[in-house]
Amino acid sequence: MSAMLQVEGLTKHFPIRRGVLRRVAGTVQAVNDVSFTVGEGETLAVVGESGCGKSTIGRALLRLLEPTAGRVTLDGTTVTDLAPDAMRAMRRKMQIIFQDPFGSLNPRMTVAETLAEPLLLHELATPGDVQDKVGALLSTCGLQPWHAGRFPHEFSGGQRQRVGIARALATRPRLIVCDEPVSALDVSVQAQIVNLLKDLQAEFGIGYVFISHDLAVVRHMADRVAVVYLGRIVEEARADALFAHPRHPYTRSLIAAAPRPDPTQRNVSAPVEGDLPSALNPPSGCAFHPRCPLAQDRCRTERPALRQVGTSRVACHFAETSEAGDSRPEAAPS
Ligand code: SF4
Ligand code: MG
């Protein structure tokens, strides 16, 4: 049986134009040959440092940004082949939740108007029953029916994100791209929103592409994790396997850099060493080589393919050898 969502070879390049003639002066290779699947009711987390192309992956797969190449299939329909009219209808099944619901909600529209719009547009409500459906959506997302008359600025950050989720849920989507949905919220509120997303997934079988740089949240939320470096997946694995046995040196530095959830442990978190190189001029060979503690000559010239190693997919020439643990960069006792 094929997965609900299949993404194959997704690529997004942005030409950089300069001068009065707007000549193409270079290309930002934001997303390169990204492939993954998401099953019904499954969460695939996409993690990596900011600027690594995570959000572009989310937007390109929804065609909010037109992909340069690649194929996206949802429930057997090739989304990337759809003409604009068919794509508008397809949008119903593929929604997005943003980091900052303040920026994505119209400040001049009440919550009732914000939620009624997609319901009426996709004929999921009639003018006669739309208010009831808005009320039901609000209570599904942990708000009260009387919140319907309010404007975005009258809510707290967490409540506003609940409105953003209600709007995404209005069209009964199969897939929701969650782009850093809790990064702007207080830690206590983060847990509530993450649990709401999990509850909705259990109830409606929604698939999530969960974009985040916060590994603590990812650990709680994800079934599988794709680690992205400079627009390419460098490791993909089940979440438990990835956290227990990270195979790619970049995954290991990300985990080592994450704050420890256990306060009794000395906090040895440190940012991943070195800066993320520019996607305008990515390094040759393995793009991670300038920052990789295990880099060899071969890494500077030959790009490692993403290949199956055990139950994971890993793009490192030495995924098997480094797995043994003898050269693990974070193996030193803390
Ligand atoms: Fe490091 Fe080489 Fe593996 Fe890249 S291929 S992650 S540079 S060891
Ligand atoms: Mg982003």
Tens digit of pLDDT for each residue in 178-237? 999 999 899 889 999 999 999 999 999 999 999 999 999 999 999 999 999 999 999 999
Q: How far is the CA of 137 from the centre of ligand 1 (A)?
A: 48
Cβ of 257 less than 6 Å from ligand 1: no
Coil/strand/helix, residue 278: coil
80-84, 155-159, 205-209, 326-330: which has the minimum mean pLDDT?
326-330
CA of 12 to the centre of ligand 1 (A): 24
Would the pLDDT of 329 be above 70?
no
- Ligand 1 centroid to 276 CA: how many Å? 15
User: Would the CB of 295 count as within 6 Å of ligand 1?
Assistant: yes
CA of 292 to the centre of ligand 1 (A): 6
Q: What residue's CA is closest to ligand 1, atom 5?
A: 316
Verify whether ligand 1 is closer than 6 Å to residue 232 (CB atom): no
Say how many Å lie between the CA of residue 60 and the centre of ligand 2.
13
| Assembly ipTM | 0.96
| Helix, strand, or coil (residue 32) | strand
Which of 193, 201, 182 has its CA nearest to residue 42?
Answer: 201
In this predicted structure, what is the pLDDT of residue 82? 98
Residue 7, pLDDT above cutoff 70: yes
Evaluate if residue 22 carries a pLDDT over 90: no
Round the average pLDDT of the chain to a whole number and report it. Answer: 91
Half-sphere exposure of 236 (CA within 13 A, CB side): 19
Work out the pLDDT band at 1, boundaries 50, 70, 90: low
Q: Is residue 292 in contact with ligand 1, taking CB distance under 6 Å?
A: yes
- Angle subtended by helix axes 187-204 and 157-169, to nearest 10: 20
Spatial CA neighbour of 6 closest among 141, 242, 174, 148: 174
Nearest-atom number in ligand 1 for the CA of 234 is 6
- The pTM (predicted TM-score) of the whole model is 0.91
Q: What is the mean pLDDT of residues 3-17?
A: 95
Is residue 155 lining ligand 1, measured as CB closer than 6 Å?
A: no
Mean pLDDT of 233-245: 97
111, 150 contact by CB (below 8 A): yes
CA proximity to 12, closest of 46, 72, 71, 56: 56
pLDDT tens sequence across 273-316: 787 888 888 899 999 999 999 999 999 999 999 999 999 999 99
3-class DSSP string for 209-245: EEEECCHHHHHHHCCEEEEEECCEEEEEEEHHHHHHC
| Per-residue pLDDT at 191 | 94
pLDDT at 264 over 70: no
- Looking at residue 330, its pLDDT comes to 42
Residue nearest to atom 6 of ligand 1 (CA): 316
State pLDDT tens for residues 56-103.
Answer: 999 999 999 999 999 999 999 999 999 999 999 999 999 999 988 777
Residue-level pLDDT at 262: 54
Share of the chain above pLDDT 90, in %: 79
Quick one: CA dihedral 57, 58, 61, 65, positive or negative? negative
Instruction: Tell me if residue 283 falls in helix, strand or coil.
Output: coil
CA–CA separation, 5 and 39 (whole Å): 6
Whether residue 267 is predicted with pLDDT greater than 50 in this model: the reply is no
Decide: 109 in ligand 1 pocket, CB within 6 A: no
pLDDT at 328 over 90: no
Give the pLDDT score at 273.
Answer: 77
Cα–Cα dist 190/187, whole Å: 5
